[in-house]
Amino acid sequence: MLKSSDDSEKKNLARKVKDSEISVPIVYGNIAFWLGKKASEYQSHKWTVYVRGAANEDLGVVIKRASFQLHSSFNNPTRIVESPPFELSESGWGEFEIVITLHFHSDVTDKPLHLYHHLKLYPGDESGSLSTKKPVVVESYDEIVFPEPSEGFLSRVKDHPAVNVPRLPAGVTLPPVPMEDVDKRKRGDTNDHPLSQWFANFSEADELLKLAGARQQVQAHIARLRRQLSLMDGQPPQLKSASDL
Amino acid sequence: MDAKDILGLPKNALPIQEKKSKPPKETQRKPDGISREVYALTGGLAPLMPSVDVNQLKRKAQSENEKITWQWLPFTNSARKDNLQLYHWVRVVNGVPSTGDYSFAKYNKSVDVIKYTDEEYEKYLVDPAWTKEETDRLFDLCERFDLRFVVIADRFPSSKTVEELKNRFYSVSRAILIARAPSPGDVIVHPLVKEPYNVSQEIERKRALSMVLSHTKQQERRDVEVLAEAKRISEARKAAKAAEEPELPVMADTGHDVTDRAAVAAAAADSISPTPSTQFPSATTANPVSETASVVASLRMLQVYLRSYALEQMVQAASSSAGLRTIKRVEQTLQDLGVNLKPKVPTRAVCAEHLELRKEILTLLSLQKQLQYKEAEGSSYRDGSYAETPGTPPPKRLQRAADLDRTFTPDSLSFGGERVGKRDQKRKGPGRSEAPSSPAQSKRPRKYKASE
């Protein structure tokens, strides 16, 4: 009897919850230090490529492992990181595209997700001012979206800081999930990461403000044009000289 | 043979091996009845098979037992009402001319035009637009000319259009039919009663036909393009719908199924996305709302995706009906507004706002275009083209359009503020005439970089 209830529980957990999109804000990119005096021809920079929570939360709640596909000139170009923080450090001289593949826990989804990041080592704009103290940092913000999460997934992460969980649609109750032993798990967040001083802060407020302002302007122009058009419709077609405009 | 003579070659030097019969002898002997050259056309040989059945040829002589003469005889035509007597050659066999009516009389068919009495007219057929005399005249002409309305319209005393005449005729006939029928059921199968003449539809149909006839080649091409695109879009939407359907009942997916369906949905989403075709002021069949719905469906199939990718798909779907030029203009406008083409912080709210902003810019651009067209139309009226992009507009109008551009865009898109005005003046600078008269130049005022 225990077995059958186990099975039905599994089915319940696998059931998808509609209209409850889960999103995980992430930041991925690289930090590169010029090695200065210690730089050799083939090892001029030391760089780290990573994926972190946008507010440095622990992504291990969602991501099982991350693989970083490096340039073929590297030994073992496919590097797999099994636990957070999901990052990889290397030394080299060249810039190339790194494919970061995120594999999620089994209750999340079987499908992997790919991120593409162009490794940047050289500052570009400010030419010549290579410094060993100030690294080159390139970060991109994005959000991983799970449109139809399973009940199990939803209940497991609903209180986790790394995950944005919307208000549940009415009438949906989630099964209880066994509490994880927090102490046993190693810390996967990047709050105290050695490189955290270079992490950027991504705030949507600026962009929202800008967008709202832009929309207002466009809407005003639209209203004006609509008025002009309706005025013109009232008039019969007649010859207008350019000076009238 | 003559050629060989000319060349001085000996005749028949090479023996012909195929034929058993002796060709050299036969070619030298000229057959009777045909000239030598004609005979030579067959290759200088008698044909192996007779090309014409010899039996067919002398069939005429078979009826030699009969004596055939031809006589010039009078005849009457039953189709004529006036007893006119004409003459023609008649084949007389053994002194007996063939009997029977004039062979063409059977082709004299006419239409049964209804005849109404005055009483019936007063009861059923009175119409404000038609007097009794006109109606009578119409029916008389109809009978005389067998319902050939074009001819009738020509001969009708007052000027009524063919459609009006038809309308009157058919409605009168219909009314009489219904009035005379003992019960409505009897007459309901009559085509006039089942499908009455629809005058407005007819006028519209003929107008449309004449429009199609007078289409220029360019318009024809454009129509074909629109239809092809519409077909493509509806097929893509059908594919997306088909991909959506199986998603709902199946919960416990295997990996295979999901990836297959995702591919189908993604392909559908891809084909919905930008088709760089020319712009059509008249709307295409795809509307933006259903486009985004199918994008949402295809995204759901993916199970996991990046929000930036989702926004890209939505943007593509929203601009699917826009041409490449319009898309570029949207991006230019975004830049002028100081908005990133791809949001730096793509949260749910930011993406939603961004999408809405793009849609609003599309609306703005289409309104601007509408305004331009209205102005252009006002200056010279073009027959037959209904709000299509002018193919080769006269230079005068183009000048005006160019002026419109100048005054419009700095005015309506003055996001850059003062800088814009200055820039315009710079461009009007030395060496440039006041009014450009080429389409390429008219585009320039629109493109200006707010930051450099």
Whether B252 has a pLDDT exceeding 80, the answer reads: no
- Least confident among A91-105, A118-132, B131-145: A118-132
pLDDT band at B380 (very low <50, low <70, confident <90, very high): low
- Least confident among A177-191, B30-44, B358-372, B392-406: B392-406
Tell me, what's the pLDDT at A154?
87
Whether B425 has a pLDDT exceeding 80, the answer reads: no
pLDDT band at A127 (very low <50, low <70, confident <90, very high): low
Which residues in chain A touch residue B374, judged by CB atoms under 8 angstroms apart? 229, 232-233
Tokens describing residue B138: 């119409």
Judged by a CB distance cut-off of 8 A, whether residue B255 touches chain A is: yes
Tell me, what's the pLDDT at B416?
43
- Least confident among B69-83, B241-255, B314-328: B241-255
Q: Collapsing DSSP states into helix, strand and coil, what is residue A96?
A: coil
Calculate mean pLDDT across residues B77-103.
Answer: 82
CA dist B410 and B418 (Å) reads 10
Nearest-by-CA chain B residue for A19: B300
CA distance B438 to chain A (A): 16
Give me the total of CB pairs closer than 8 Å, taking one residue from chain A and one from chain B: 141
Judged by a CB distance cut-off of 8 A, whether residue A226 touches chain B is: yes
Calculate mean pLDDT across residues B241-268.
Answer: 51
Whether B364 has a pLDDT exceeding 90, the answer reads: yes
- Least confident among A74-83, B4-13, B72-81, B145-154: B4-13
Residue type for position B113 = V
Percent of chain B with pLDDT over 90: 19
Select from A141, A143, A215 the Cβ nearest to the Cβ of B356: A215
- Least confident among A80-84, A111-115, B180-184, B352-356: B180-184
Whether B211 has a pLDDT exceeding 70, the answer reads: yes
* Contact flag B363-A108 (C-beta cutoff 8 Å): no
Judged by a CB distance cut-off of 8 A, whether residue A237 touches chain B is: yes
pLDDT band at B41 (very low <50, low <70, confident <90, very high): confident
Calculate mean pLDDT across residues B140-153.
Answer: 91
pLDDT band at A180 (very low <50, low <70, confident <90, very high): low
Select from A110, A218, A237 the Cβ nearest to the Cβ of B357: A218
* Contact flag A212-B255 (C-beta cutoff 8 Å): no
Calculate mean pLDDT across residues B115-139.
Answer: 88
Tell me, what's the pLDDT at A36?
86
pLDDT band at A181 (very low <50, low <70, confident <90, very high): low
Residue type for position B402 = A
How large is the angle between the packed helices B162-180 and B132-144, nearest 10 degrees? 100
Torsion, Cα B37 B42 B46 B47, to 10 degrees, reads: -150
Residue the block writes with tokens 């972190």: A52
User: What pTM was estimated for this model as a whole?
Assistant: 0.49
Tokens describing residue B403: 């002026």
CA distance A166 to chain B (A): 11
Tell me, what's the pLDDT at B57?
62
Whether A219 has a pLDDT exceeding 80, the answer reads: yes
Whether A46 has a pLDDT exceeding 90, the answer reads: yes
Tell me, what's the pLDDT at A178?
64
CA dist B46 and B54 (Å) reads 15
Q: Over chain A, what is the mean pLDDT?
A: 84
Select from B259, B338, B435 the Cβ nearest to the Cβ of A210: B338
Whether B254 has a pLDDT exceeding 70, the answer reads: no
Calculate mean pLDDT across residues A149-168.
Answer: 85
Interface of A with B in 144-173 (CB under 8 A): 144-148
Whether B383 has a pLDDT exceeding 80, the answer reads: no
- pLDDT tens-digit series, residues B157-208: 888 889 999 999 998 988 888 888 888 777 787 888 888 888 889 999 999 9
- Which has more pLDDT, B8 or B442? B8
pLDDT band at B390 (very low <50, low <70, confident <90, very high): very low
Whether A27 has a pLDDT exceeding 90, the answer reads: yes
- pLDDT tens-digit series, residues B286-330: 455 677 788 888 888 888 999 999 999 999 888 888 888 999 999
| Paired residues of A34 in beta bridges | A45
User: How far, in whole angstroms, is CA B251 from its chain's centroid?
Assistant: 48
- Which has more pLDDT, B131 or B43? B131
* Contact flag A204-B354 (C-beta cutoff 8 Å): no
CA distance B149 to chain A (A): 37
Tell me, what's the pLDDT at B221?
84
pLDDT band at A59 (very low <50, low <70, confident <90, very high): very high
Residue B121 has phi, psi (to 5 degrees) of -60, -50
Percent of chain A with pLDDT over 70: 81
Taking CB atoms within 8 Å and a gap of at least 24, the contacts of A159-164 are A160/A57, A160/A58, A160/A61, A161/A53, A161/A55, A161/A57, A161/A58, A162/A24, A162/A53, A162/A57, A162/A58, A162/A59, A162/A61, A162/A62, A163/A22, A163/A23, A163/A24, A163/A61, A163/A62, A164/A22, A164/A23, A164/A24, A164/A25
Residue the block writes with tokens 């001319």: B97
pLDDT band at B220 (very low <50, low <70, confident <90, very high): confident
CA dist B382 and B217 (Å) reads 17
Tell me, what's the pLDDT at B284?
43
Tell me, what's the pLDDT at B64?
63
- Least confident among A56-60, B329-333, B442-446: B442-446
* Contact flag A204-B412 (C-beta cutoff 8 Å): no
End-to-end CA distance of chain A: 85
pLDDT band at A114 (very low <50, low <70, confident <90, very high): very high
Tell me, what's the pLDDT at B262?
46
- CA of A124: how far to CAs of A121, A136, A137, B210, in Å? 9, 10, 12, 65
Tokens describing residue B123: 């009861």
* Contact flag B304-A146 (C-beta cutoff 8 Å): yes
Tell me, what's the pLDDT at B68?
81
| Paired residues of A52 in beta bridges | A27
Judged by a CB distance cut-off of 8 A, whether residue B361 touches chain A is: yes
Q: Over chain B, what is the mean pLDDT?
A: 73
Residue type for position B449 = K
Contacts of A140 by beta carbon, 8 Å cutoff, 6+ apart: A27, A28, A29, A117
Residue to mutate among A139, A215, A230, with most B CBs inside 10 A, is A215
